[in-house]
Amino acid sequence: MRLLIDIGNTNLHWTLDGPGTAWSVASVRHSGGIPPDLIAAWERLSPPERILVSHVAGPGLAESLTRVARALWRVEPEFVRVIQGYGGIQVAYSQPERLGVDRWLALLAARRLHQEATLILDAGTAATFDLLLADGRHLGGLILPGIELMRSSLFAKTQIPPPAEPIKAGLAYWGTDTQSAIALGSIQALAATAERLYDRLAAESGSTPWLVLTGGDAGRIGPFLLRPWTQIADLVLRGLAEAGALDRT
Closest by alpha carbon to 232, among 136, 73, 119, 142? Answer: 119
> At 53, which helix (H) or strand (E)?
strand 50-55
248, part of any domain: no
Same domain, 60 and 94: no
Same domain, 34 and 152: no
Domain end marker among 79, 95, 127: 79
Predicted local confidence at residue 246, as pLDDT: 54
249, part of any domain: no
Same domain, 158 and 120: yes
How far is the C-alpha of 211 from the C-alpha of 205, rounded, in Å? Answer: 13
63, part of any domain: yes
Same domain, 93 and 112: yes
Residue 10 vs residues 34, 66, 124, 126: alpha-carbon distances, Å: 12, 18, 8, 10
Predicted local confidence at residue 247, as pLDDT: 52
Predicted local confidence at residue 164, as pLDDT: 73
Please, are residues 10 and 215 in contact by the beta-carbon 8 Å criterion?
A: no
| Domain, as residue range, for 55 | 2-79
The reply to whether the predicted model has a pTM over 0.95 is no
- Look up residue 182 and give its amino acid: I
Active-site residue, 102 included? yes
Same domain, 111 and 226: yes
Same domain, 102 and 179: yes
119, part of any domain: yes
44, part of any domain: yes
33, part of any domain: yes
247, part of any domain: no
Question: Hey, what's the torsion of the CAs at 210, 215, 221, 226, to 10 degrees?
Answer: 0
* pLDDT by residue, tens only, the chain of 249 residues: 999 999 999 999 999 998 889 899 999 999 889 999 999 999 999 999 999 999 998 889 999 999 999 999 999 999 999 999 999 999 999 999 999 999 999 999 999 999 999 999 999 999 999 999 999 999 999 999 999 999 999 999 999 988 777 767 677 888 888 888 998 999 999 999 999 999 999 999 999 999 999 999 999 999 999 999 999 999 999 999 999 865 544
Q: Which residues are annotated as a binding site for K(+)?
A: 122
Same domain, 130 and 222: yes
Catalytic pick among 17, 102, 130, 234:
102
Please, are residues 2 and 244 in contact by the beta-carbon 8 Å criterion?
A: yes
Same domain, 72 and 106: no
Domains identified in the chain, total number: 2
Same domain, 130 and 209: yes
- What is the DSSP code string of 141-176? EEEEE-HHHHHHHHHHHSSPPPPSS-----S-SS-S
Domain end marker among 79, 105, 126: 79
How far is the C-alpha of 37 from the C-alpha of 34, rounded, in Å? Answer: 9
Domain end marker among 79, 110, 137: 79
140, part of any domain: yes
Same domain, 104 and 62: no
Same domain, 67 and 133: no
Same domain, 70 and 175: no
DSSP classification of residue 233: T
CATH of the domain at 96: 3.30.420.40
Q: Which residues are annotated as a binding site?
A: 6-13, 93, 100-103, 122, 125, 178
